[in-house]
Amino acid sequence: MRYILPVIFLVTALTACKTETESFDAEVRKTYQHEKGFFYLKIPPSLVTLVLRSIDDKEIIDFFGGARQVGIIAFGEKFSDEETQNLIVSLEEMLSRYEYDDLLRISNKEKTISLKIKENKGKVTELVTIVSQKASGVMALTLSGELDIQTVVRLAADFDYDKLLEMQIMGKR
């Protein structure tokens, strides 16, 4: 009987001191917050709504209209190819731990674009897009909310990634 109170206290203390992160965003911030060039910005729903009011594209409004939170994560510039690859592997391992599924991955010698989602009952609850460019840096865009999975798939399929990659290559000339 005299051991019950100390055991309860120990279990409560260990539970309260839980050090695991609860989301991909939180783990990224915790892991990289002290790295040179790391930048993280969360855009609240009210600002997303304000921006959407100034856009005329119905598909974009429909897509972002269900977003509860938008996040932008940048990891600086001038990474070596090895550093870029290690960072991408680390991010993808985190996404895997948080049970994100692959939606789309496009890669060429210069650039990689990867879209990963969490889905629940036909709605995308989390969307992460990772863009990396050789010798330039890595960036991620996160969306959370109630995004229609058909809209996400349609926009991903309709988006002209080849044109994006071509424009990026042209910009280097």
Average pLDDT for 80-93:
87
Q: Among residues 122, 119, 115, which one has the least CA distance to residue 155?
A: 115
List of long-range contacts for 113-120, beta carbons under 8 Å, 24+ apart: 113/161, 113/164, 114/88, 115/156, 116/92, 117/149, 117/152, 119/149
pLDDT exceeds cutoff 80 at 151: no
The structure tokens listed for 100 are 């994100």
**What is the model's pLDDT at position 77?**
67
Question: What are 41-66's pLDDT values in tens digits?
Answer: 888 878 877 877 888 877 777 767 67
- Please indicate, yes or no, whether the overall pTM of this predicted structure exceeds 0.75: no
